[in-house]
Amino acid sequence: MTVNENGTLRIFDKQNQKIFDQVFLIENGGDDRDEYDYSPLPQEKLLYSDRVKANVTLKQTPFIATIEISFTLAVPMDLEKRTVKVSNSFVEVELTVTLPNHKPLIKVAIELNNQAKDHRLRLLVPTGIAANCSISDNQFGYIKRDVYDQAMDVWQQEGWDERPDSIYPMLGYVGLSNEAYGVTIATNSTREFEIVGEESDTIAITLFRSIGFLGKENILRRPGRPSGIKLPTPDSQMLGKITLSLVHPFWIDAKS
Amino acid sequence: MAKRAKEYVTPISFYNKIPYNAMKLNSSDIKTPVQYSFLKELNQEVILSTLKKAEQSKGYILRYLNGTDEVKELKLEANMKNAGRTNLNEFKTDEVVIENQQVKLLVKPNEVQTLYFEKN
């Protein structure tokens, strides 16, 4: 495992002889919605941590290896600045990646310092698997879902109230697999994911959403009346420190 | 996958007692062995959910589930007796055969089962 200049990981999986690059890239986009759910801005260009310069420290003991990665991601202060593409605020990101010698897994603890409003931060895990469906768990079992909900193409013609985005909850894990191998992410904190990328090969885990209203009207995903009432909720901008003792992916063969 | 995720989200917690007391606690007369095995999973097919003492009797309750879409087998080894499946109320619904200190039980997809047993 090596750390790229931008703080992402390059992982060589010895079992499957595969390289996973740009693991744990951070994605940032506007969030025009409310406490209920997410909505993107029209014609938005997403921001990524691909060009940041990260500080990296490595520690290795006979039992465990630890990588500490930190960087500051410049983001717009609010929706207004985001529309004119001015990144005048920031989110500080600190990833602590640990590799215990006795377990086939990578642990990630994430500490964030958010100073911006109305946005969403996600962690991207590329899997190299062009997937049709994802597997995530619910109580006592798992659920298989299409990575893209076909109803997103017809919701307006059919007069749906809301666009059914393929953003889903999980209880403990989400994974993609093909005949050869699988990639899974287990979580002990944040529990929302979407499969993204042109090939539907990347697992995006929502780290946090920062919003300012209980319910908002006339947004991209939901035209018309607000969900609930339009009441300001300034605390849900999630300003300040956020700790997620969180996601860890591990690589396994497809059979299990 | 499901089993490993479950193990990750519910890790075994323990602490290393330092030689002198950081807190005043009543000292215990119980001497525990350095190494001890309560029970052993002989395969990795079902997810163990709970192990606790039974509410009304002196045995133990083990709850486990099958999070896959195929029938799976639970294989356990322990020095036990009087094993039987129970309902959630911990009343025995059937007896379970113990052979060479092992029990083998089939679990249907998404099924949760409760096993009662006593230690020898």
Q: ipTM of this model? A: 0.75
The answer to the question of residue B31 being in a domain is: no
Q: Would you state the pLDDT for residue A188? A: 84
Q: State residue A246's pLDDT score.
A: 64
Instruction: Supply the pTM of this predicted model.
Output: 0.87
Pairwise CB contact (< 8 Å): B4 & A175: no
DSSP secondary structure code for residue A232 in this structure? B
C-alpha distances in Å from residue B100, one per residue of A34, A127, A132, B79, B105: 60, 44, 46, 9, 15
Highest mean pLDDT among A175-179, B11-15, B18-22: A175-179
Q: How close, in Å, is residue B30 to chain A by CA atoms?
A: 31
**Residue by residue, what is the 3-state secondary structure of A240-252?**
EEEEEEECEEEEE
Q: What is the pLDDT of residue A229?
A: 87
Of A141, A182, A186, the CB nearest to B5: A186
Shortest distance, CA A187 to any CA of chain B (angstroms): 7
- In CATH, what number does A2-125+194-248 get? 2.70.98.30
CA distance B57 to chain A (A): 27
If phi > 0 it is left, if psi is from -120 to 50 it is alpha, else beta; for residue B100 that is left
- Overall number of domains in chain B: 1
Q: Which residues contact A99 (CB under 8 A, 6 or more apart)?
A: A1, A64, A65, A66, A67, A105, A106, A107
Question: What does the pLDDT read at residue A120?
Answer: 96
pLDDT of residue A253: 46
Q: Is B5 close to A141, i.e. CB distance below 8 A?
A: no
Interface of A with B (CB under 8 A): 105, 135, 137, 140-142, 172-173, 175, 182, 184, 186-188, 248, 250, 252, 256
Residue B74 binned pLDDT confidence (cut-offs 50, 70, 90): very high
Provide the percentage of residues in chain B whose pLDDT is more than 90.
68
What is the separation of C-alpha A74 from the centre of its chain, rounded to a whole number of angstroms?
17
CATH number at residue B104: 2.60.40.2220
Give me the pLDDT at residue A250, please: 56
pLDDT for position A105: 81
- Write out residues in chain A with pLDDT < 70, as ranges: 246-256
Give the model's pLDDT for residue B99: 95
Shortest CA gap A3–chain B (Å): 24
DSSP annotation string for A27-44: EEEE----SS---PPTT-
Instruction: Please tell me the predicted confidence (pLDDT) of residue A249.
Output: 54
Q: How many CB pairs under 8 A join A and B?
A: 46
CB contact under 8 A, A172 and B6: yes
Give the pLDDT of residue A37.
87
Residue B92, domain extent: 41-120
- Looking at residue A251, its pLDDT comes to 52
What pLDDT, on the 0 to 100 scale, is given for residue A179?
86
Domain spans in chain A, listed from the N-terminal domain onward: 2-125+194-248
In the block, tokens 């899997």 appear at A127
Please give the structure tokens belonging to residue A41: 């801005």
For residue B98, is it within any domain?
yes
Domain membership of residue B4 (yes or no) is no
Of B75 and A255, the structure prediction assigns the larger pLDDT to B75
> Which residue of chain B comes nearest to A177, CA vs CA?
B1
What is the mean predicted confidence (pLDDT) over B8-27? 75
